[in-house]
Structure 1
Amino acid sequence: MTASASPPIPSLLGVFAHPDDESLLAGGVLARHAAEGARTAVVTATWAPASPRAAELADALAALGAGQPRMLGYGDARNDSSAPGSPRFCDAPLDEVIAQLVAQVREFRPDIVVTHDAVGQLTGHPDHRHTHRVTLLAVEAAGLAHLYPETGEPWQTRALYAATHPHSGVGDLGQLLAGVGKTVLSVPDAYVTAAVDVTPWVEQKWRAVLAHRGEVARERPLPGILARLPEDTRRRIISTEYFTRLAPGPVPGDRLQLTP
Structure 2
Amino acid sequence: MGTALVTGASAGLGLEFAWQLATARHDVVLVARDEERLTRLAEQLRAAAGVRAEVLVADLSDRAGMERVADRLRSDENPVGLLVNNAGLGLNQRFVEGDLAREEDALEVMVRAVLVLSHAAAGAMVERGRGAVLNVASVAALLASGTYSAHKAWVRSFTEGLAVELRGTGVTATALCPGFVHTEFHERGRIDVSAYPEIAWLNAEDVVATALADVRRGAVISTPSLRYQLASGVVRLAPRSAVRAFGRYRKALEGGAQ
Relative to the length of structure 2, the TM-score reads 0.45
**Structure with more helix by fraction:** 2
Higher RCO (CA < 8 A, seq sep 6+): 1
